[in-house]
Every structure is written in C-alpha cells, then in structure tokens.
Amino acid sequence: MRDDAGMDRVVLVVVLATVAVAVAAVLQRRQRPATPTRTGFDVPDHLDRADFARPDAPWLVAVFTSATCDSCRAVWEKAGLLEADAVATQELEVTAAADLHRKYAIGAVPATLVVDDAGVVRASFLGPVTATDLWATLAELRSPGTLPTDSCDHGTT
C-alpha cells in the first residue's frame, strides 16, 4: 500500500506541475508587449526648397553635418560630387546652418537627404553612406528602372 501512496504523490506532483506550467503560459500570452522604445532619429519627409541652394534644380542632395564629425566630412565629399545642372548639393554644417537644423529637427549627423523639386524627401541616409549607395539611389530616383529591383532599397535608412 505504501507504494500506491508514493505513486499517488508522484502523479499529483506531476499534474500540479503541468497545471502550473499551463497557467504560466496562458498568463504570459495575455501580457501586452512593452511599449516600443524610441532608439533612432527621424528625418523630415518634406523640405521647403526655398531654404536651400538652387531651389529650381529638379533634385537636391542636402547633407546635414557637424564640423567635429569625421564621417560627416566623408559623406559630404561623396555627395558634393553629385552637383550637376539637375542636382543641387548643399552641406549644412550645424553651426553655420543652426536655424535649418532646428527647423527640420535634425538630431543626428551626418543626415543626407535626397529631395525632389516639390521638396519631398525621396530618400535619406543617417550616418555614413557609401558613394555607391548614394549615387545609385539618386540614379534610380531620377530614372526609375535604372537598377535591378533587388540592388537598391531607395535609401530611407
């Protein structure tokens, strides 16, 4: 009889443990996920082209920078080479263009924006960007279908 009592206790412990695990699983599923934490920076989705160089140019590549930022210099060197009849380029250093940094709530540099003639930000890059990515994005925006669809995500990084 003692074996039956011991066996009953083992069965009872197993059943209770199973119920406890099941209750814990149900409670965990019912919990709401934590509110997302903001970890990144935003870029504006529209610019007033009158605030920038050559507002009549079909395209603008605006690079928001800081004089103390090494990667900003490298991004501007790449972006500045895009200057053409159809593409205005402009560096906006935080001290010299503080009003525009504030107006467009630029919180991180380098921030590179590719903007159409209506002022719509069509692509953006936060942080360093390769010349290939920047130039390919502008080429694709200017002439859709220039690149294979899987080789360019059109910025908005």
Strands, E assignment, the chain: 59-65, 87-93, 111-116, 121-126
Average pLDDT over every residue of 115-137: 94
Residues 82, 61 contacting (CB under 8 angstroms):
yes
Backbone angles phi, psi at 143, to 5 degrees: -140, 85
Between helix 131-142 and helix 70-80 the angle, nearest 10°, is 40
Count of H helices and E strands in the chain? 4, 4
Residue count of the chain: 157
Taking the C-alpha atoms of residue 72 and residue 91, their distance in angstroms, rounded to an integer, is 10
pLDDT at 148: 67
On whether the CB atoms of residues 138 and 125 are closer than 8 A, the answer is: no
Partners of residue 111 on adjacent β-strands:
64, 126
Q: β-strand 111-116 against 121-126: which pairing, if any? A: antiparallel
Rounded mean pLDDT, 46-72? 96
- What is the pLDDT at residue 89? 97
Measured between its terminal Cα atoms, the distance across the chain in Å is 72
pLDDT at 157: 47
Q: What's the pLDDT tens digit per position in 107-122? A: 999 999 999 999 999 9
